[in-house]
A and B are shown apart, each in its own frame.
Chain A
Amino acid sequence: MDDRPAEIVKFDNVGLRYGTDPEVLSNLSFTLYPGSFYFLTGASGAGKTSLLKLLYLAQRPSRGAIRMFGQDLITMPRQRLPDLRRRLGVVFQNFRLVPHLTAFDNVALPLRLAGADDKRVAKAVTDMLDWVGLAHRAHAVPASLSGGEQQRVAIARAVIARPRMLIADEPTGNVDPDMALKLLRLFEALNHRVGTTVVVATHDVHLLKKVPDSLIMRLNKGQLSDPTGALRYPPRPAAPAANSQ
């Protein structure tokens, strides 16, 4: 009997090209399981952002098959994609906060899109901003926030709707090492205490050692390698409890 948990994401021989250019991702086949913490590494231009775009549904692959939360993304009509997107939390590389909305309204967006009532939104957003240490900046617009503060607003927005998978693209790229570590701890807390699957793209190899339970996927020129056994199941021989839900 197969006792594997239902996969969050399954890629099968996926390729991606933009227009008529050569493929930026080739023959990607892997599975992401619930409650795991993955680092996606690789040099600049290796294809990390392209892979993340496939994961957060900003792009369809040029070939191959992708299943997410048990559903086939290739044949899924676009009007059903918002339902899947609401199960994801995304921290974009450049934060992508809505520039004329306050920190409060930016964090509130996923809940408002989902139809949560005002009372619930107000409490959840206030608590979340407090959690990331920005309660006092709730009414500030992104332009008046520092890079680290914007990053924390982006993270608060990504996690407020309790995503089943959190995807972060170079989330520590614009912050100092102390802040980078704090942000990583936020992701770990979400992963350990809520069970959210986390995928963090980074080219900072020092970061990988900071999260001992993490699994590593390495991209090189659009091809995926598997230095820690992340692409097998169980993900690695001595998988920690946190990763084997």
Chain B
Amino acid sequence: MSLPTPPLTDAPPAAGAAGADALTSWTLGQKTAQLLPSTRFAGPIPWVIAILIALVVIASAGGLALGKLANSARADLSAAVTVQVVEPNPNLRSVRGAEAVRVLTALDGVRAVRLVPEAELAALLEPWLGEGAGNGDVPIPALIDVELTRSAGPADIAAIEAALKDTVPGARVDAQSDWLRPVYNALAALQWLALGLIALVALATAAAVWLAARNAFAGARDTVEIIHLLGATDRQISAVFLRSVLREAAFGAVVGAALGAGAVWLLGQQFAALDSGMTSGGGLGLGDWLVIAAVPLAGVLIALLTARITIALALKGML
């Protein structure tokens, strides 16, 4: 067989030549993405990512709503103080109650003072003490609602106590927010729980992507070895895998975000239907929805980062 000179063109650029690697990372990903057998949406990973993203979206929305709820309740009650005049003698209780109102009204930093009428107190206590709550058989302290011009701190409480000490002995002064402290604590615990759930789901996402990337690498090992021996750089090989991971993670993130947002919207409708002053403070605003919108993006970034590390470690095992 008589052969002509092989049709060889000029030598191609060397690995690492200026621009060559960046170019080929993209070129290889674009032109020869089919280097890996196409597995688009065939495996469970996009769906696993979708479920995990949906969970994070729900947990994030829950955490944000709880935070807003706690802040709203705290803002409503932060300036409110209750003064109880504990005196079994009803006449003396009335006199001391009136005296307390006078003293409190004269204090600096007090915006409003209201002596809660006995009938209102009886109505409040009726569910626990029955209809006889207001007949005088059970001594009920006189209650005074005080609204300060600022949040009620320990110094304010101490000042009110000092002012009442001489004229209204036995008066008890409480910041109203103190009564809700256990509720705030419970809300804070739920927020931490949501945060913990988000961290766990992020770990689970990373673990799922790690397993998938490892399996994908093992499944394509022959192909990887071939292109590796032909001179592919780690970056070029990673680009092929990352392209596939990006596609699958983006699909999972979009589906998961849609599912999660739908669930959050439905829950929001349910809570809104309660028409409760407490739950109305937990409505999500634009900023909250922007934070929720960042969840799928963060999921895709976690998936890409995990896949990149996994592939880099696997490639290190090759010469």
Contact = CB atoms under 8 A, between A and B. Distances in A.
A185 B3 contact: yes
B182 interface: no
Contacts of B233: 79, 82
Contacts of B23: 115
B27 A189 contact: no
B62 to A, nearest CB: 45
Given A58-B319, A124-B7, A98 B226 contact: yes
Q: Which of the four size classes fits the interface of chain A?
A: 35 or more
A145 interface: no
A60 B318 CA distance: 11
Contacts of A118: 31
A100 B33 CA distance: 11
Interface in A54-113: 56-60, 78-83, 85-86, 88, 90, 96-101, 105, 109-113
A162 B319 contact: no
B6 A111 contact: no
**Which of B20, B229, B232 has its CB near the most chain A CB atoms (within 10 A)?**
B229
A1 B272 CA distance: 95
A23 interface: no
Interface string B154-184: 0000000000000000000000000000000
A85 B27 contact: no
A22 to B, nearest CB: 22
Nearest to A179: B1
Interface of B: 1, 3-17, 19-21, 23-24, 27-28, 31-32, 34-35, 37, 222-223, 225-234, 236, 316, 319
Interface of A: 56-60, 78-83, 85-86, 88, 90, 96-101, 105, 109-116, 118, 120, 123-124, 127-128, 130-131, 157, 159-162, 181-182, 185-186, 189-190, 193-194
24 contacts: A58-B319, A78-B316, A85-B231, A90-B229, A96-B229, A98-B226, A99-B223, A100-B37, A101-B32, A105-B32, A109-B32, A109-B227, A112-B27, A112-B28, A112-B32, A113-B15, A114-B14, A115-B13, A115-B24, A116-B13, A124-B7, A131-B4, A185-B3, A189-B3
